[in-house]
Amino acid sequence: MEALASPIRPYAWGSRTVIAGIQGRPVPSDGPEAELWIGAHPGDPSTIDGVSLADRVTAEPERLLGPAVAARFDARLPYLVKILAAAAPLSLQAHPDEAQARARFAAGHPSYVDAHHKPEMLVAVSDFEALCGFRDPLAAADSLAALDVSTLEPVVAALRAGDLRTALRALLEWPQTDRPSLVEAAVAAPGAPDLVRQLAAHYPGDPGVLVALLLNHVTLAPGEAIWMPAGNLHAYLRGTGIEIMAASDNVLRGGLTPKHVDVPELLDVLRFEALVDPVVPAVPVAPGVVTWRAPVAEFALHRVRPVEAGGPVTLDVSGPRVVLCIAGEVVADDGAASVKLPAGYAAFGAAGAGPVIVAGAGEAFVASVPA
């Protein structure tokens, strides 16, 4: 395996303590640190000895990815791993499926930056608060009705009829001039939940504050995950997690953001169905090893704690692999070379190497491509 140097994205919602603290740097950091990107995404790739991992994959796709992965995923490392540290809420967003992404990108649609889908999963490292998937529309109707805001009655009626699309469209297309008064009335309502007040403090006048009441509001305990396939409306609110996704930047936003919101395209890709239970539990697969089941071809993720296993852990993973240490220190060895990894640092291993052996008193996440 080879040690990676990975970039930190300074988005405004990022924490000034989490990633710096994990890596043992001075806290607080000079500015917000939102995401540590680990992979070969061309937007901000990791490097090995100063050389872009994206460039190395382009130069030697079959050696680094393996012939099958290189052929299936257009000679790209198909996943991106992140440490995500949210100190403030992120935008309401969803992602297209593969067919939608390919067609829209080929047509030059301005909301698409590549031809790939972006299913993603987040595993909580701390308590992690998020919105994920539509809740029962009748429960959402009750929450909106409790605000006792008369202008919301058509939205409540649509929800009572089970019509999530009409309810969401009405909120997202609310007249610009009336949005501040709508959100202010909701926040002032005696029955306003903390979530509405919390979001309005960050995004005053944004109808996404009310869209949040249509979604499942979950708090993950460390080790629990949420899975966000194509068409799932979601938003991260606060906390630290390990995120793994297909390597794409296709994001369709619906609110809680100063960025571009494409309501027609968002409505076109969303799946208007209630998600009964958005939480994905950890599944033990061996002593000291757990995984989270995600029906996706691009990635698999395991958490490894060698101390719980009583010694080094061997993972027989396939394809290109990334090992990220999240706490303490581990040694990762794939038979080609071993790398000592302190917390907050990662290593890359080419396909065709041996099983990954993780040793030490730390905790690591191992990303790979499903066999």
Residue 253 appears among annotated catalytic residues: yes
Sign of CA pseudo-dihedral 48, 49, 55, 56: negative
Reduce the DSSP state of residue 368 to 3 states and report it: strand
Give the C-alpha separation, 33 to 244, whole Å: 18
The pair of structure tokens assigned to 213 is 């009441």
Report the 10 Å Cβ neighbour count for 331: 20
Q: Which of 253, 303, 305, 321 is catalytic?
A: 253
- Distances from the Cα of 287 to the Cαs of 14, 68, 244, 306, in angstroms? 34, 30, 23, 8
Pairing of strands 225-228, 356-359: unpaired
Q: What is the dihedral of CA 336, 338, 341, 347, to 10 degrees?
A: 0
Cβ atoms of 319 and 77 within 8 Å: the answer is: no
Give catalytic residue positions.
253
